[in-house]
Amino acid sequence: MSILKIAVQKSGRLSEKSLQLLADCGIKISNGERRLKAVSPNFPIEVLFLRDDDIPQYVEEGVADAGMLGENEVWEKDKNVTVIKKLGFASCRLSLAVPKDANYAGPQYFSGKKVATSYPVILQKFFDQNNLDTAIETISGSVEIAPAIGLADGIFDIVSTGSTLQINGLKEVEVVTKSEAVLISNPNLSAEKQQILDKLLFRIQSVKNAAENKYILLNAPDKAIPEIIKILPGMKSPTVLPLAEAGWSSIHSVIREDAFWDIIDQLKALGAEGILVTNVEKMIL
């Protein structure tokens, strides 16, 4: 029986989120002893725990069939892999930053200067697109200290909240690109492994659908049902059940979480009462 080998980051928040996603998909993985690989007892996959910047190469070479990692590492390593799914977590931006007292007026600021980064490939593309003659100092580890020690005039790095930049006396001036966790695969999977990957993708999509939607229940006067249905279409149409009190019904539907607060006032204006909103564990369309 074929087993799909999937690489995830061996530690850190992205690793935790990746393993949580597999758990939400009903896939059991145990790595309690910090092993470098673990086989699921209830789904045909083997998880390899690797450095995130090594994952594209391992997937390209077929050591791993698929991988979960930040899309920024996919761009930086530029390997022959296929991005097949954005996973919706580990969102960040890759930005240029300069000393907070610098007089920054646009990308031309970097012309003739030096920028320190761990992502020289992504950064060079940005400088090329803007016709900037800028030197890139490639370093690993914490790049925020580079301007303070005179190694560079600015930095290019991952930014989440910006607090690390502030602590080091820097300010974010250009968002070059945005990144999030993605699922990649080797473009030449066997038919058996592709079938396993498709099953995994189905489960991931069901989990993502559930995370993006809420189940809503409410009571409303029967005369308001046509208008309520217009704003609560559900997956196909809402479920409407009569209540014991004549002239009233219970309406059950599914709505996108980001739309709920925009329509709650409309529902109340139409006479809706007893509105309950709950999480959806899985959602299969």
- pLDDT tens, position by position, 212-238: 888 999 999 999 999 999 888 667 789
How far apart CA 203 and CA 211 sit, in angstroms, is 13
Fold (topology level) of 4-90+180-210? D-Maltodextrin-Binding Protein; domain 2 (3.40.190)
pLDDT at 141: 82
- Amino acid, single-letter form, for residue 248: W
Least confident span in 149-158, 252-261, 268-277: 252-261
Average pLDDT over the chain, rounded to whole? 93
Dihedral sign, Cα of residue 252, residue 256, residue 257, residue 261: negative
- pLDDT tens, position by position, 135-162: 999 998 889 999 999 999 999 999 988 8
- pLDDT tens, position by position, 164-173: 999 999 999 9
CATH of 92-179, one of 3.40.190.10, 3.30.70.120, 3.40.50.300, 3.90.550.10: 3.40.190.10
Average pLDDT over residues 28-56: 89
Do the domains 4-90+180-210 and 92-179 sit in the same CATH topology, yes or no?
Answer: yes
Write the CB contacts of 76 (distance below 8 Å, at least 6 apart in sequence): 53, 119, 120, 121, 122
Domain boundaries defined on the chain: 4-90+180-210, 92-179, 213-279
pLDDT at 139: 94
With pLDDT > 90 as the criterion, what percentage of the chain qualifies?
80
- pLDDT tens, position by position, 76-98: 999 999 999 999 999 999 999 99
Q: Which two tokens stand for residue 31?
A: 């790595």
pLDDT at 69: 97
Beta pairing class for 154-159 and 181-185: unpaired
How many Cβ atoms are within 10 Å of 217's Cβ, its own excluded? 15
Burial of 195 (0-12, 13-18, 19+ CB in 10 A): middle
What is the band of 283 on the pLDDT scale with cuts at 50, 70, 90? confident
* pLDDT for 100 beyond 70: yes
pLDDT at 228: 92
* pLDDT for 32 beyond 70: no
- With beta carbons less than 8 A apart as the criterion, state whether 155 and 143 touch: yes
In CATH, the architecture of 213-279 is 2-Layer Sandwich (3.30)
